[in-house]
Amino acid sequence: MSKSFDVVYISTPRHGYFKVNGDDLREIKISQSFSEYSFFDEDNDVFYLEEDCDARLFAKRCELDGVELNITEEDYDSEQEQDVIRCHNDALGGDYGYYGELEQNHTGLESYFEDDSDEEDEEEIEE
């Protein structure tokens, strides 16, 4: 039997998020790999991964690792988005909970972490 994670896709008037258990993200080694557009609820060890970048990064890591996603959907209004999701700290590459610095697995995900400054450096070299 293959590994699977239960995920909730939360749709709001402004945006969408994957609600993912922190232990699942630590298991696939990307718990410290997210942008400031995602949020971390330390009290419940839950990440709310922004749909455009971070949820895709998570889904791709799962695909590469052969992890199946069991996705259910919920709709939140703007007030719920603020009170349940956006009230938490942003999830920008930090040390979440009491886990210390953890190794991150970015193999196969390099395009998610390309730095625009690298492109500028290449342009300067060409000139």
91: burial class by Cβ within 10 Å (0-12, 13-18, 19+)?
Answer: buried
Q: Where are the domains of the chain?
A: 4-126
Which pLDDT score, from 0 to 100, does residue 77 have? Answer: 95
Which pLDDT score, from 0 to 100, does residue 90 have? Answer: 85
Which pLDDT score, from 0 to 100, does residue 1 have? Answer: 47
CA 10 to chain CA mean position, Å: 14
Q: Single out the residue of 18, 4, 94 nearest to residue 54, CA to CA.
A: 18
3-state secondary structure the chain: CCCEEEEEEEECCCCEEEEEEHHHHHHCCCCCCECCCCEEECCCCEEEEECCCHHHHHHHHHHHHCCEEEEEEEECCHHHHHHHHHCCEECECCCCCCCCCCCCCCCCCHHHHCCHHHHHHHHHHHC
Which pLDDT score, from 0 to 100, does residue 89 have? Answer: 85
Residue numbers in the chain where pLDDT is lower than 50: 1, 121
Which pLDDT score, from 0 to 100, does residue 92 have? Answer: 84
